[in-house]
């Protein structure tokens, strides 16, 4: 579909559901022809259980994509299995980088020490982009409170450089909204949250966060990197703006 038509569709979706709740936005996105065929992309991280639970209630047959970078915390892998089983997710798709790509580009598993962007591209972005070819869009857990780069996030947006949309049902939620939803629905928390990890990625590039620090301060600490790459604009790293 031409990009201008996609932009028009996204604008119409935002106008149509501007005053809806997160659950309502997700419910309609899964059914609205203008949104197309969607998958939920989940890291099974600190706050992921909220959207996973919503999907399980609305339509547990919704495809759920999980990227196993083979550098994740053991706790994340165990949590992923437990949550998927508990919620009855019936179309869980686990992605990996190809063995050949890993052998050619990261044979010693140390690319993250030399070039974190290249490592994220190899282990996360490329497998995800390949998996998303059969979808019209994907659902993310991004929220406005996660930093200035996401402060203007809308429920629906065009994924720059593609013919897909991104759906952000939790865009307007606060940390209190997340906690309340998890508590009211008696959902399991990622075990690393209690150990000071409010944002959880790959083990080599994630550290605990001290009280008062930004929740994402533990991701790629001591660098200006803020995203793994799956939310880059047109595949390029943009440090500022909605998709940074």
The answer to whether the beta carbons of residues 60 and 89 sit under 8 Å apart is: yes
Catalytic residue among 119, 120, 202, 228: 228
Give the pair of three-digit tokens for residue 142. 């991004």
The answer to whether the beta carbons of residues 191 and 89 sit under 8 Å apart is: no
| CA gap 163, 211 in Å, rounded | 41
Q: Is the dihedral of CA 210, 214, 217, 218 positive or negative?
A: positive
| CA gap 209, 195 in Å, rounded | 9
Give the pair of three-digit tokens for residue 169. 């049902």
228 is a catalytic site residue: yes
The answer to whether the beta carbons of residues 144 and 157 sit under 8 Å apart is: no
| CA gap 124, 202 in Å, rounded | 10
- Helical H runs in the chain? 3-16, 22-29, 49-59, 74-87, 99-105, 111-114, 116-120, 126-131, 175-184
Q: Which residues are catalytic?
A: 228
């Amino acid at each position: 579909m031409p990009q201008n038509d996609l932009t028009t569709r996204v604008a119409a979706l935002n106008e149509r559901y501007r005053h809806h709740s997160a659950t309502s936005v997700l419910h309609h996105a899964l059914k609205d022809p203008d949104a197309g065929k969607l998958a939920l992309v989940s890291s099974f991280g600190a706050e992921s259980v909220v959207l996973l639970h919503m999907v399980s209630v609305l339509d547990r047959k919704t495809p759920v994509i999980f990227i196993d970078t083979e550098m994740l915390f053991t706790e994340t892998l165990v949590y992923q299995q437990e949550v998927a089983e508990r919620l009855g997710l019936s179309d869980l798709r686990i992605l990996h980088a190809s063995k050949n790509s890993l052998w050619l580009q990261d044979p010693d598993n140390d690319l993250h020490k030399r070039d974190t962007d290249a490592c994220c591209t190899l282990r996360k972005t490329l497998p995800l982009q390949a998996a998303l070819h059969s979808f019209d869009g994907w659902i993310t857990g991004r929220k406005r409170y996660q930093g200035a780069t996401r402060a203007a996030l809308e429920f629906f947006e065009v994924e720059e450089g593609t013919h897909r949309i991104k759906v952000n049902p939790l865009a307007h939620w606060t940390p209190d909204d997340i906690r309340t939803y998890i508590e009211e629905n008696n959902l399991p928390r990622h075990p690393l949250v209690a150990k000071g990890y409010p944002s959880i990625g790959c083990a080599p590039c994630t550290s605990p966060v001290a009280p008062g620090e930004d929740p994402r301060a533990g991701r790629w600490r001591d660098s200006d990197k803020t995203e793994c790459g799956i939310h880059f604009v047109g595949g390029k790293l943009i440090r500022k703006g909605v998709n940074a």
